[in-house]
Amino acid sequence: MSSEHKKHYIVQPGGKLQGELRVPGDKSISHRSIMLGSLAEGVTEVSGFLEGEDALATLAAFRAMGVQIDGPQNGKVTIHGVGMHGLKGSDKEIYLGNSGTSTRLLSGLLAGQNFATTLTGDKSLSGRPMRRVTDPLATMGAVIDSDEGKLPLTIKAGNKLTGITYTLPMASAQVKSCILLAGMYAKGKTTVTEPAPTRDHTERMLTGMGYAVEVNGDTVSIEGGGKLTATSIDVPADISSATFFMVGAAIAEGSDITLTHVGINPTRIGVINILKLMGADITLSNEGITGGEPVADIRVRYAPLKGIQIPEDQVPLAIDEFPALFVAAACAEGTTILTGAEELRVKESDRIQAMADGLQILGIDTEPTADGIIITGGIIGSGEVESHDDHRIAMSFAIAGLQAGGTIQINDCANVATSFPDFVGLATKAGLEIDEFDV
Ligand code: S3P
């Protein structure tokens, strides 16, 4: 796996981003297409599937549980659904690499099976909090062993689940989805209330596959005992991957880039809203709906940015985009203040600390706080920064090269392959001077 070999990036200073490109498929939707396609009755055809390590970990998990899955080939995957009760226990542990989404969603889905499963992951995943899913699942009747709330998780067989009414302690689509997936196997109704809107891909895909989900403001409910019907799923390009190019174009003079067929689900567009508040020139065209998800082409042209106080209601809508947004803040005039984002400390790395440390090395004044950061725009210099094996930290420092005064070396970038295979190729095509080397 990626964590066993090391890859560094070297980015040369300057340049601008130009042209039209399509970034890989949405990670969240790719995971869900495998999970729900496997449980459906009939054959689900997926196109635009993300062939990154995280989504492939989910695919391998379902193969290990007896589902025939053809592909992926050029983003096409064919899933021969086994129905709600057709999964088979795997005699081996299921290794989920770096993927929090695989782990948390699978925990819910596995809680309702009549076989036991052990889930493991890499070093980063093994350090991430899992009580946020094991606690509500235990209330539903699941029996799960963990290492003090961390991986490995062993989800025991055959426990009867009962629907619960649960208020999420944090805004998390992974926890919401976990409980809804368990709810499909529970007796009665399961209701989840979220403190703020989070990505609703699970709800949309369940609906698209004929499983009724009731949405009432901040509350989602599902009745146990239903079934899913196979469908075709066109996965849009991932707005989280498009973000690196959006920010790159927003900070580099002369840039004009169009990202095509990007998912613009309202629960994911915080990055567009925040960049616009900072003064970015962003226009949408070719808006449409594909497989129940809104899409558009996103054009970003360079315009000077200014620092802002980021509205807290945008935080869950841009949760994966903050490392890149911190680079935008570093290039903006004035100070940017982020609050209400303590979840960033428990992502693939502590993203507040990782970005604060790296930006500081590059000469930018940063002040990390418990739930956010204060960044004063300035001149990005050169230096060697750590990605902490976090794909989004690595790609964020890569695009900082566009405004850097000298070379930036970014260490431990192999995990970029979890969400964005061929980032280096696409970034080079767009105008970034970036090389990778194995160490
Ligand atoms: C995801 C939800 C978010 C996000 C992650 C993908 C999902 O995590 O950060 O990259 O697919 O449901 P949280 O639920 O922990 O906020």
Residue having the nearest C-alpha atom to atom 10 of ligand 1: 320
- 3-state helix, strand and coil shares in percent for the chain, rounded to the nearest 5: 35, 30, 35
Average pLDDT rounded to a whole number, residues 210-223: 98
| pLDDT tens-digit series, residues 159-190 | 899 999 999 999 999 999 999 999 999 999 99
Q: Is 306 exposed, middle or buried (0-12, 13-18, 19+ CB in 10 A)?
A: middle
pLDDT above 50 for 1: no
Q: Are 161 and 186 in contact (CB under 8 A)?
A: yes
> Could you identify the residue written with the tokens 């999970």?
35
**Arithmetic mean of pLDDT, 133-143:** 98
Q: How far apart are CA 140 and CA 236, in angstroms?
A: 34
User: Is the confidence at residue 3, as pLDDT, over 60?
Assistant: no
Q: Is residue 119 pLDDT above 50, yes or no?
A: yes
Q: Is the dihedral of CA 418, 424, 426, 430 positive or negative?
A: positive
- Across 389-415, average pLDDT: 98
Arithmetic mean of pLDDT, 16-42 = 98
Phi and psi angles of residue 318, each rounded to the nearest 5 degrees, phi first: -135, 25
Amino acid at 75: G
Instruction: Name the band, by pLDDT with cuts 50, 70 and 90, for residue 117.
Output: very high
Confidence (pLDDT) at 2: 43
Q: How far apart are CA 252 and CA 215, in angstroms?
A: 42
- Tell me the pLDDT band of 156, cut-offs 50, 70 and 90: very high
Stretch 83-109: mean pLDDT: 98
Q: What is the mean pLDDT of residues 282-307?
A: 97
Q: What percent of the chain has pLDDT over 90?
A: 98
The whole-model pTM stands at: 0.98
Place of tokens 């944090």: 170
Output the CA 124–ligand 1 centroid distance in Å: 15
Pairwise CA distance, residues 380 & 421, whole Å: 27
| Residue 102 CB less than 6 A away from ligand 1 | no
Query: How far does CA 358 lie from the centroid of its chain?
Result: 22
Instruction: Give the Å distance between the CA of 334 and the centre of ligand 1.
Output: 30
Average pLDDT over residues 39-57: 98
Please give the positions annotated as active site: 320
Please confirm whether the linkage preceding 304 is cis (ω < 30° from 0): no
In this prediction, residue 158 carries a pLDDT of 86
Nearest residue (by CA) to ligand 1, atom 4, is 320
Q: Please give the average per-residue pLDDT across 91-109, as a whole number.
A: 98
Residue 429: pLDDT over 80: yes
Counting atoms of ligand 1 from 1, which one is nearest the CA of 173? 14
Average pLDDT of the segment spanning 234-243: 98
CB distance 234 to 48 below 8 Å: yes
- CA of 105 from ligand 1 middle (Å) equals 10
Pick the closest to residue 307 from 259, 283, 274, 266 (CA basis): 274
Q: What are phi and psi of 382, to 5 degrees?
A: -135, 170
pLDDT of residue 344: 98
